[in-house]
Amino acid sequence: MLHLLTTISKFTMIFIMALYTYFSFKALMPRISQESSAGLYKKQTALVMLLFINGYIVILMHTLYQNGEGEASSVTAAQMMLVLFLAELVLLRILFIIYKYFYGAASDALVNNMCMLLAVGFLILSRLSWDKALRQFFLAVAAVILTALIPLFVRKLKFLNKLAYLYAIIGIGGLGLVAVAGSTDYGAKLNISLGPVTIQPSEFIKILFVFFLASMLYNIKDIRQIYVATAIAGIHVLLLVAARDLGGAAIFGVTFLAMLYVATGRLSLFLGGMGLGMAGAFVASKIFTHVQNRIVAWKDPLSVIDSQGYQVAQSLFAIGTGGWMGSGLYEGMPEKIPVVTKDFIFAAISEEMGGIFALCLIFVCINCFLMFFNISMQIRDKFYKLIALGLGTVYGIQTFLTLGGVIRFIPSTGVTLPLVSYGGSSLISTMILFAVIQGLYCLREDQKREEEEIY
Amino acid sequence: MKKKRSIKNREYAVIAYGFLGVFIAMSLYFAYYLTFEAEDFINNPYNARVSLFSENVIRGDVLSADGQVLATTEIAADGSETRSYPYGRVFAHAVGYNTNGKAGVELDGNFNMLRSHSFFLTRLINDFTDKKDQGDSVVTTLDASMQQAAYNAFGNYRGAVVAIEPSTGKILALMSKPDFDPAGIASQWDSLQSDSESSVLLNRATQGLYPPGSTFKILTALEYLHEGGSTEDAFNCEGTYTENGYTIHCYGNTAHGEEDLKGAFARSCNVAFSQTGLSLDLNKYRTLAENMLFNKDIPTKISNVKPSTFSLKKGDDPVLVMQTAIGQGDTLMTPLHGAIIAAAIDNEGVVMEPYIMDKIVNDNGDLVRPYFGETYGSIVSKEDAKKLKKLMRSVVTDGTGSALLSDNYKAYGKTGSAEYTSDKNATHSWFVGFANKDDKEVAVAVIMEGAGSGSSHAVPVARAMFDEYFKE
Ligand SMILES: [Zn+2]
């Protein structure tokens, strides 16, 4: 019976996710009326809840039967799981209400996407590890509280474009600290330990970095501004390389190039910079053994399955064995994949919830960055335009690196899937990122009002 | 207002579309992986997941092309499952085993047999009643009567037999000896593992690397013809030939006397062929061997296939050249490869990739997934194939393969007696060749370790298989 429930839920969840994804792109179509898009957003909100409840029914039943029917320890575990489910449900509703009712101008599409990504993350973490699911919930509570006022700040604080050097100093200081004193994790230095908590400063600094570049580039009066911006951006990237965080270096580097291109309008700078970056990556692959390992694992994971290729091979086994429809929750073996809750969470989702579901998830991520670029085009003030574009690039690159690494489209770089993967720094920084963008959607509302007053 | 907005947005759109393009490419790759590549990964022995399927599915059967059950799962009254093999040892290496690791079709079809495509209502009822679904069956290309014929004719020698349908690549028979009882693998595991001398578990048909002996003269003759030689070129054999301080012997020191290349090929004259070898451009010789799949992965989806090796190159010792030209030296070939070469010559030079899984069917016999023979490509030209066919026919009409003359079909081939130690009298008995009649055709390779000459042992086995295949 449990197997039957799992199998039926597998299909219903795929259906819900597919419908959600369809609506999210339908709402993006040009010339759609305000009313019909509002209707779509309402349906989307309901679908997120439906998916979340459907997933948790399966999780609760499996928890209840994990040690045999009626076993006391199972019942306790199921009760705790039920409490977590309800708490998460409330949290998702609160997040929704904050943006829907306190920030009326916020993008409904983005709120729904945020809730969807968080919901999928909560589900798969509860499936994978009770401890991590619980921690992630508390981190999410903290993130919601910490970011609740950010849209307001973005809307009201008019001096954010004057703090370029402050952003740079904090950024370089933070990355420098990691390069010197960071703890090593899978070959790269990423984290700083502060007592019981470890934080990954680059997750936050990438947002400051976007603010820095926007402040430097929104009003170019003097070519020297570009040189200074380039030099400081270069220091950021080099510090990340020194910490062997090549995924981070790629995120910062591409973000810089994209913002520089948009600010100057010169594609040659972007392409030249990408070429330089490729050359740098090539050199890095010759120097760093951990980069070589990842490239070998990417080219032919099965040939080095006992060593470097193990993780990627396990990921591909998971995705492949799950197939288009997935094995159903608890009926795969995602725990075989090393770091499954972080960098490789997408493989676990694809394995148990299905390739179709996973493909829809990719499209929800696409929908997110399209919403980021959308606001960058709609807003008039160049500083904010650059902020939106920069954050969109950060999000796009990060998502591309993690998804591409998991499915062996590119070598894996060890970055997390925003809002879905386990990890406090990643979760909180992504919530900040989305909150800033929501602030920009609110700003656009002010801009519209001004325009209406003029005309 | 609209206009003002779009003025400065070109760059923004470039970035947005750039990302969109990259993500769509990634999504397409993801879909491609799931549809086409995943299967290669799923069956990897490191993938522990497939074994989970057996909790909900009864492992399906392995069937021969004509519907005989080669492996099945029997369920006792208490629900325990045992894998049984109605043909016992006959298909041991071809079908393989399913405990203590996996081999053969049990390995290659593992994933498929643990999937169920039973009628969906049946599966639904099974779910409600907590019963297992019946897994799909693998229908192989194996022909039970051909396999049985090979098994019966082979006797107690060690060695292997492979039979392929040249136009499709279907493997009709695949036998390796010594063999084992596939149902008893678990209980005999320790003794099977420790017995390194006879390597019972080694599938000699796909992994046995043997000196090809005189069967390699097919390649030597072809290279000689490529370099301007003719089948009418004359040689004189006195039974032995000494050059560079090394003496080549014909089998049993027989003096073949005055002969042309065709006659030398038919009677497998080592003297003539070692002289031929000395005249060859060694780099071209090597290229020819590599075109014919030496030093290359054998094109097939069957797992655990070893590549054959050919190492001769320009500047090597003439003694080694003389040995290599008659299939000794350092050259090694698998029986499967021998059968592929014979099949290609019959098939106008085109290799069809050998395969053993023909289709997957559900418990009702309905098709779930078919497999097709894939064309690897040409390893010899059409004209060369024709010339080689003539030479190989002369082996049957005028030479060492005369036991294959039949009114019922037309046989072609090359025998071999491969020395494998310094003892010139101990030889592996080889035959590679094919036979056809109207549209029907079959290629075989036979090797019998230490049995003697090709014509005395391997040829009768080939004869038994041809007779079986073309029987009315
Ligand atoms: Zn002779």
Encode pLDDT of A9-20 as tens digits. Answer: 999 999 999 999
In this prediction, the answer to ipTM > 0.90 reads yes
CB contact residues (below 8 A), chain A span 284-303, against chain B: 302
According to the model, what pLDDT value does residue A186 have? Answer: 65
CA of B127 to the centre of ligand 1 (A): 72
Q: Where is pLDDT greater, at B290 or B111?
A: B290
Tell me what pLDDT residue A346 has.
Answer: 96
In 10 A of CB B282, how many CB atoms?
A: 18
Q: How confident is the model at residue B7 (pLDDT cuts 50, 70, 90)?
A: low
Provide the total of helices (H) and of strands (E) in chain B, helices listed first: 19, 19
**Share of residues in chain A with pLDDT > 90 (%):** 61
Do B15 and A392 lie within an 8 Å CB cutoff? yes
For A126-156, how does the pLDDT look when each residue is reduced to its tens digit (9 = 90+)? 999 999 999 999 999 999 999 999 999 988 8
B159 backbone dihedrals φ, ψ, rounded to 5°: 150, -155
d(CA B231, CA B234): 8
Cβ atoms < 10 Å from Cβ of A32: 12
Separation in Å, CA of B232 to nearest CA in chain A:
50
B367/B370 Cα distance (integer angstroms): 7
pLDDT at residue B4 above 50? no
What is the chain B residue with the closest CA to A337?
Answer: B47
pLDDT band at B154 (very low <50, low <70, confident <90, very high): very high
A244-258, A281-295, B427-441: segment of lowest average pLDDT: A281-295
Domain boundaries, chain B: 1-42, 213-355+374-469
CB–CB contact B38 A319 (8 Å): yes
| Cβ of residue A305 closer than 8 Å to a chain B Cβ | yes
Output DSSP code: residue A421. Answer: S
Average of per-residue pLDDT across A73-86: 92
A279 Cβ contact partners less than 8 Å away, ≥ 6 residues apart: none
- Mean pLDDT for chain A overall: 90
Shortest CB distance from A321 goes to which of B8, B9, B50?
A: B50
Binned at pLDDT 50, 70 and 90, residue B164 comes out as very high
Which residue has better confidence, A210 or B303? A210
Bridge pairing between strands B427-437 and B410-419: antiparallel
- Specify whether the CB–CB gap between B472 and B457 falls below 8 A: no
Residue B208 to chain A, least CA–CA distance (Å): 22
- Per-residue model confidence as pLDDT tens digits over B122-140: 888 887 787 889 999 999 9
What mean pLDDT, rounded, does chain B reach?
91
Tell me the fold of B213-355+374-469.
Answer: Beta-lactamase (3.40.710)
Peptide bond into B178 cis (omega under 30): yes
Closest C-alpha to A318, from B41, B35, B31: B41
- Sign of the four-CA dihedral B447, B452, B454, B455: negative
Interface of B with A (CB under 8 A): 1, 4-5, 8-16, 19-20, 22-23, 25-27, 29-31, 33-34, 37-39, 41-42, 44, 46-50, 52, 56, 111, 124, 127-128, 130
A223 pLDDT above the threshold of 80: yes
Closest CA in chain A for residue B115: A321
Nearest to A26 by CA among A120, A113, A110, A109: A109
